[in-house]
Amino acid sequence: MKILVTGAAGFIGMHVAQRLLAVGHEVRGLDNLNAYYDVRLKHYRLEALQKNKNFEFLKLDLKEREAVAELFDQERYDVVIHLAAQAGVRYSLEAPFEYVDSNLVGFMAVLEGVRAQGCQHLIYASSSSVYGENSKVPFEEDDRVDEPVSLYAATKKANELMAHSYANLYQIPTTGLRFFTVYGPAGRPDMAPWLFTEAIFADQPIRIFNHGDMYRDFTYVDDIVDGLEHVIHQPPAGQSLHRVLNIGRGSPVSLMDFIGAIEGALGKKPTKKFADMQPGDVPRTFASTERLHAFTGYEPRVGVDEGVKEFVNWYADTWLPHIKS
């Protein structure tokens, strides 16, 4: 199949594109290479993808509507996997219009492109953030998600509503995936696994919010890719052509235990500075993956200790030498 992956220079995008290429698909990877975090990391990811002759990179900002329309007019895609977005809960407090441009205007451009040409399946990234401060656990897809605590979460909920309307107006099979705290090699520098590893490696103190009383459904990126790969071949059918699925490990880990796994992998302990909860953050996430399992047989395989070691080894043995070379 010919598959378009937006956000291909992003963390999940790179890993998804690598898997698709490995099983023989032709992949077009789109990204605007913005400077939200170190662009060297995005180029590193792209270099890995460009080693495959079936990958073609397209530098494009999705808010450029005419350019996006031309992209879909020039080439037909069997599947579109839309992972491009302005990420980060905390950054949405500083730069709200970045989220409007990327997550709303950009998503609209993709929906219009897909509507114009049609495709077998549109898959897009939602987020566990849509659950807000939901107290019922585990989080299930039928739970209320109309009280977001950050603009980032609000844009992701808006994406689900937009996708629902387009799927059923224009008969486009569409799946939204609510990702739960994805981590692993080549991950994002603004997320806890990288921030803690970087600080501990450099013998710097780490800052721990909500005084450590936080739980996250940390999900290793290979498990995410496994689930997404299965979803590609299981488009929704029937009365509604839009569905939303949780994709996580389904086993929350305390933040302090996660830090302990990083300490164990690095063989050192940092000074810990405890702080209050950050605005827009939530104390815990916990995915029910029963619905995804029913559709695809999804079973996450990588535990936190194993996943953290993989990330820490990549950071120490690959990333640091890469940026020093």
Q: Give the active site residues.
A: 152
Q: Please give the single-letter amino acid code of residue 61.
A: D
User: Within 10 A of 301 (CB to CB), how many other CB atoms are there?
Assistant: 11
User: Residue 228 has which token pair?
Assistant: 């997404």
Q: Please give the single-letter amino acid code of residue 300.
A: P
Beta-strand runs (E) in 163-232: 174-179, 182-183, 206-208, 215-216, 219-220
| Count of positions (residues) in the chain | 325
Question: Cα separations (Å) of 100 from 85, 87, 294, 325?
Answer: 10, 12, 34, 37
CA–CA separation, 103 vs 129, rounded Å? 14
Phi-psi region at 188: left, alpha or beta (left = phi > 0; alpha = psi -120 to 50): beta
